């Protein structure tokens, strides 16, 4: 059976208000807050659609990804 790495991509969007001298400073303030985890996006911030992208992988790459802790779904889990 072939093996695939499937990437799941969701778009999360959150609007945040900030007071700043200009847009560059505003983005920097929010960037800093985001990096400190003062701003966290979660499922309530879901915006748009979910995309799936499958790429066939060789056994060596598949096993490497498994060892890194990638979640593996088997046919029996689908049902």
pLDDT in tens, 12-66: 999 999 999 999 999 999 999 999 999 999 999 999 989 999 999 999 999 999 9
pTM for the whole thing?
0.63
The alpha helices in the chain, defined as continuous H runs, are 23-35, 59-67, 75-78
Range of the domain at 27: 3-78
Q: What's the token pair of residue 11?
A: 């778009």
**CA-to-CA distance for 31 and 26, rounded, in angstroms?**
9
Pick the residue with more confidence: 21 or 1?
21
What's the number of domains the chain is made of? Answer: 1
**What distance in Å separates the CA atoms of residue 34 and residue 40, rounded to the nearest whole number?**
7
């Amino acid at each position: 059976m072939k093996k695939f790495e499937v990437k799941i991509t969701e778009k999360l969007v959150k609007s945040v208000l900030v007071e700043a001298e200009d847009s560059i400073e505003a983005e920097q303030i929010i960037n800093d807050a985001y990096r400190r985890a003062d701003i966290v996006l979660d499922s309530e911030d879901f915006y748009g659609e979910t995309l799936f992208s499958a790429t066939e992988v060789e056994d060596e790459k598949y096993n490497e990804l498994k060892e890194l802790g990638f979640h593996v779904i088997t046919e029996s889990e689908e049902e």
